[in-house]
Amino acid sequence: MKTPAGVDVHDISSREQWLLLRQPNIGASEVGALFRAHPYRSYARLAAEKKGLVFPEKETGAMRRGRWYEDGVRNAVAEQRPDWTIIKASKYYCDPKLKLGATPDFYIFDRGTEPHRKGVLQTKTVERSAFAKYWTETTPPFWITLQVVTEMMLTGAEFGAIGAGVFDPHNPEVCIYLVPRQPEIEQRIRAAVKQFWFNLENGVEAELDYEQDAALLAVLYPAPVPGKQIDMRGDNRIGELLETRETLRDLIKATEQKLKPVETEIKAKLQDAESALVRGWNVTLRLQHRAAYSVAETNFRLLKASRLMTAPPGAQPGSINNIQSKEHEHDE
């Protein structure tokens, strides 16, 4: 395939070299964050990373699964599409002016067309319940579509494909999604990338995503400034948040209290049985072994919130009876 003008191509010799190549750029797998559509990376976190903030990286089970089974998904796609020659990609593509990069998983040569079309294949492994929740038979998640569109744009591919390997030990399958070139979306990606770098260079702060950015806050503010106190008595929102927090924690506690006797009754019905036949349910009560382990020393910030109550009638000013508190703790 013919690489577009202005795009540099680098052979990947090692993971370390690849990480250095991609650090100055937004990667195709990160583009979804620009559209607030990425499930694992927020816009604010992406901005922090490009400013040089380093997050502690730990390979998750899903990441390990994807690495182990990438070739398996490729083989399954090839089995369903025998007219495709699929070759492992080992190059990094980047537009240094736009500061946008991509690393395709595989190249596709479609022998079923004349002339043979050239494409890129992005492989994913998905657990069955996650597939049912986030994918449909005809539509992959938007952030993955954006990833493939970016890869096509930078490699000059004529089409793209997503191979989703549904991870199910009893009934594995692969779903193939064709992604055509989409000039309008490519234009939106370019505009979003330009806006991102403009904001970063001009000090425009990214808004936090409170569902995703707990890890970002932990890295930004790992420890408090000794003795520092801020006055938030004029901030109505913090009061609303503390009220909501208290309500939710009380609900969790009440739910746990209700759950315990229900589970105890279920266990009593099974007695010493390892499993039970129940209409519509798979029920087991097997013995589990947990090996002894030690937890490494660590530091974390502990959030505490105590509700201040009004003084009861007859209380003396300054006496301990003037303040009643209901304290909640939460590890951050």
Tell me: do 167 and 253 sit in the same domain. no
Per-residue confidence (pLDDT) for residue 65, from 0 to 100: 78
* pLDDT of res. 317: 43
Same domain assignment for residues 76 and 209: yes
Q: Can you read off the two tokens belonging to residue 222?
A: 């790992």
- Whether omega before 104 lies within 30 degrees of 0, making that bond cis, reads no
pTM value is 0.76
92 pLDDT band, cuts 50/70/90, is: very high
* Alpha-carbon distance values, 328 to 232, 242, 259 (Å): 19, 10, 21
Domain count, the chain: 2
Same domain, yes or no: 44 and 132: yes
Quickly state the pLDDT bin for 316 (edges 50, 70, 90). Answer: very low
Specify whether 20 is located in the same domain as 67: yes
Does 168 share its domain with 124? yes
Residues in the chain: 332
For residues 122, 128, 134, 140, the Cα torsion angle rounded to the nearest 10 degrees is 30
- Given the DSSP bridges, would you call strands 8-11 and 302-306 parallel, antiparallel or unpaired? unpaired
Q: Is residue 55 part of a domain?
A: yes
| 9-43 tens-digit pLDDT | 999 999 999 999 999 999 999 999 999 999 989 99
Query: In whole angstroms, what is the distance from residue 246 CA to residue 306 CA?
Result: 10
Q: Residue 318 falls within a domain, yes or no?
A: no
Residues 200 and 57 in one domain: yes
Domain with 242, as residue range(s), is: 230-269
CATH number at residue 135: 3.90.320.10
In a domain, 122, yes or no: yes
Q: Nearest to residue 92, comparing CAs of 38, 15, 159, 186?
A: 15
Does residue 312 have a pLDDT over 60? no
* Residues 155/1, Cβ–Cβ less than 8 Å: yes
Q: How far is CA 305 from the centre of its chain?
A: 29
Is 288 within the bounds of a domain?
A: no
